[in-house]
């Protein structure tokens, strides 16, 4: 009889004895069943894809090890769920246990992974040599390679939509894209992407470019391309504040686009953190009595930070104080640290999968434009980051009228009355869709909420030609929702699922706010804002070191 490890378990603090006894009893029963199946040669291959390969199924010892690991992981997760602690502490425990459990999976170790061993034997040792080479290369980079980055070059086969940089300052460049149609809507669209990533997630390649789709629909598109501040910059970018970004970047981009096109108002779109910045900048403009935007689009953006999903595990006063002291007076929040944090939100998919493939099996990850973009992070000015972390994620001040200020003005998001299209992704782990929906309760104009399938990025980048995924909506395409209750679950019960991309729905909504169709401009920029260089410009090509 093989002993099971429950006999040596310490009693976890905070788990009721009867619940712990039940977990142990179920573990013992499942362990005994596992041993019986192993002795009879009846172990089935686990459904977990880490252990689903032929090499695992062909080795009884490795198969038993995989099942024992999964059984132990399940027991640990149950103990976390049963712990008598606050919800916030439980979430942190769950996250910590996930990191530890995922890290010690037998698939992550050469001595325990039969697939990796098989690849070395089959390649006569070449896989081991390539794996070591991949490891050394990634150590030099300071990050794990998730794609074959040699296959992509910014401005050559990603970020290729034609256009011109028509304005720049120390925080951003503004790109005006060439028209895709003979006539365009007279009111332009200004896109504010997140400054924690590069803008070209919205302009990857022609087939999946949001920018290309928009210009082909008759829109004049302007794109904010954020400066990637670097250590050693002498122009004070590492001192930039939240207020600087609103006043000197977002509102400046809107003003330049307005002047170039001769329109009193523009339409504007903010993605993720870019949406938070855009809405805040519009609140600043509203406080000054200005209304630069006719229609607002927010994609997977947070205005109400009450529920930030898995990111809550990083948010507390101690962390905020640390960032205030480290960065509040200047310096940089490194892109590497931000990228590592987001990767470990899904460690099996974004970390250990590549450790096994790149290093243990000596494989080169396939070329994938989205993962090339994902590895191309940006640094953030310290004062900007520390203000943002405290006032949004920690204290949720932005949604409270007047609690936050910028350029000496109180910000009140509830005074924004322009029509708004608000999009969330149903499986988004960074901006949970009910939190994206919460913006409908803050804004005061005609609002339309649309929920797309998939996650934070894949849900947004869903070109119609692919005919993939679906979206949910209430009401007619060109109008706002007639039904926006406070409870997002109640909205979802009434929503109708539609096959395919949400992009056509958004274009139909935006069209009435675009003004008349006029002859497309022959060139980008104007006499006051002549072209400075071709798109995608210099700023986007600077990589965080």
218: left (phi over 0), alpha (psi -120 to 50) or beta: left
pLDDT category at 232 given cuts 50, 70, 90 is confident
Q: In the predicted model, is pLDDT for residue 13 greater than 80?
A: no
In this prediction, residue 51 carries a pLDDT of: 95
Tokens of 135: 């490891």
Cα distances (angstroms) measured from residue 74 to each of 68, 101, 209, 345: 10, 10, 41, 19
Average pLDDT over residues 389-393: 97
Contact 423, 495 (CB under 8 A): no
Q: Which two tokens stand for residue 228?
A: 């990637």
H helix runs in 104-241, sequence order: 114-122, 126-141, 210-216
DSSP label at residue 445: S
Band the pLDDT of 434: cuts 50, 70, 90: very high
What pLDDT does 1 receive? 37
DSSP letter for each residue of 420-443: EEEEEETT-SSS-HHHHHGGGGT-
116 alpha-carbon distance from chain centroid: 31
For the chain, counts of helices (H) and of strands (E): 19, 17
pLDDT digits (tens, 9 = 90+) for 250-309: 999 999 999 999 999 999 999 999 999 999 999 999 999 999 999 999 999 999 999 998
The pLDDT score that the predictor gives to residue 102 is: 96
Over the chain, what is the mean pLDDT?
Answer: 93
Q: What tens digit of pLDDT does each residue of 92-135 get?
A: 999 999 999 999 999 999 999 999 999 999 999 999 999 999 99
465 to 300, 419, 503: CA distances (angstroms)? 22, 28, 11
CA distance 166 to 256: 9
Domain extents for the chain? Answer: 5-106, 163-334+379-541
Q: How confident is the model at residue 479 (pLDDT cuts 50, 70, 90)?
A: low
d(CA 541, CA 247): 24
Pairing of strands 163-168, 533-534: antiparallel
Q: Look at residue 514 and tell me whether its pLDDT is greater than 90.
A: yes
Single out the catalytic residue among 272, 284, 311, 442: 272
Look at residue 7 in the predicted model and tell me its pLDDT: 42
Q: Which CATH number fits domain 163-334+379-541: 3.40.50.1820, 3.20.20.70, 3.40.630.40, 3.40.50.300?
A: 3.40.50.1820
Q: Is 272 a catalytic residue?
A: yes
For the segment 479-507, the average pLDDT, to the nearest whole number, is 93
């Amino acid at each position: 009889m093989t002993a099971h490890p429950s006999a040596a378990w310490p009693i976890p603090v905070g788990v009721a004895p009867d619940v712990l006894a039940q977990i142990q009893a179920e573990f013992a029963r499942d362990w005994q069943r596992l041993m019986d199946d192993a002795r009879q040669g009846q172990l089935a291959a686990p459904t977990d894809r880490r252990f689903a390969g032929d090499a695992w199924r062909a080795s009884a010892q490795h198969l038993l090890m995989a099942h024992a690991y999964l059984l132990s992981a399940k027991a640990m997760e149950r103990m976390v769920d049963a712990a008598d602690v606050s919800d916030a502490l439980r979430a942190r425990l769950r996250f910590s246990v996930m990191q530890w459990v995922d890290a010690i999976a037998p698939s992550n170790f050469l001595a325990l992974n039969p697939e990796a061993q098989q690849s070395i034997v089959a390649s006569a040792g070449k896989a081991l040599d390539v794996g070591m080479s991949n490891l050394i290369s990634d150590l030099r980079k300071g990050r794990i390679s998730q794609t074959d980055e040699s296959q992509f070059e910014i401005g050559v086969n990603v970020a290729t939509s034609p256009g011109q940089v028509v304005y720049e300052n120390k925080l951003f460049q503004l790109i005006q894209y060439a028209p895709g149609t003979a006539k365009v809507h007279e009111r332009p669209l200004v896109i504010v992407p997140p400054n924690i990533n590069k803008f070209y997630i919205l302009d990857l390649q022609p087939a999946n470019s949001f920018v290309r789709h928009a210009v082909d629909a008759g829109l004049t598109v302007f794109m904010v391309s954020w400066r990637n501040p670097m250590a050693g910059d002498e122009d004070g970018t590492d001192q930039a504040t939240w207020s600087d970004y609103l006043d000197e970047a977002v509102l400046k981009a809107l003003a330049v686009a307005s002047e170039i096109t001769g329109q009193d108002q523009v339409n504007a779109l903010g993605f993720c953190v870019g949406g938070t910045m855009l809405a805040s900048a519009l609140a600043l403009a509203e406080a000054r009595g200005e209304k630069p935007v006719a229609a607002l689009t927010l994609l997977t953006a947070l205005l109400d930070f009450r529920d930030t999903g898995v990111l809550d595990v990083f948010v507390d006063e101690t962390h905020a104080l640390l960032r205030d002291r480290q960065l509040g007076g200047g310096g940089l929040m490194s892109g590497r640290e931000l990228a590592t944090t987001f990767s470990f939100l899904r460690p099996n998919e974004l970390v250990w999968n590549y450790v096994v493939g790149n290093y243990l099996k000596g494989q080169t990850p396939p070329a994938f434009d989205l993962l090339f973009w994902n590895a191309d992070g940006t640094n953030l000015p310290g004062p900007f980051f520390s203000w943002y972390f405290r006032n949004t994620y920690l204290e949720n001040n932005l949604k409270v009228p007047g609690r936050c200020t910028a350029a000496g003005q109180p910000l009140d998001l509830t005074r924004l009355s322009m029509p708004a299209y608000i999009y969330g992704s149903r499986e988004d782990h960074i901006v949970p869709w009910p939190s994206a929906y919460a913006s409908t309760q803050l804004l005061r104009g005609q609002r339309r909420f649309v929920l797309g399938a998939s996650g934070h990025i894949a849900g947004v980048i869903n070109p119609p030609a692919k005919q993939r995924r679906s979206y949910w909506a209430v009401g007619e395409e060109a109008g706002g929702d007639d039904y926006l209750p406070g409870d997002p679950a109640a909205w979802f019960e009434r929503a109708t699922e539609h096959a395919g991309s949400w992009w056509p729905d958004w274009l139909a909504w935006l069209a009435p706010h675009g003004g008349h169709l006029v002859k497309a401009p022959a060139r980008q920029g104007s006499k006051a804002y002549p072209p400075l260089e071709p798109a995608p410009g210099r700023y986007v090509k600077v990589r965080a070191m």
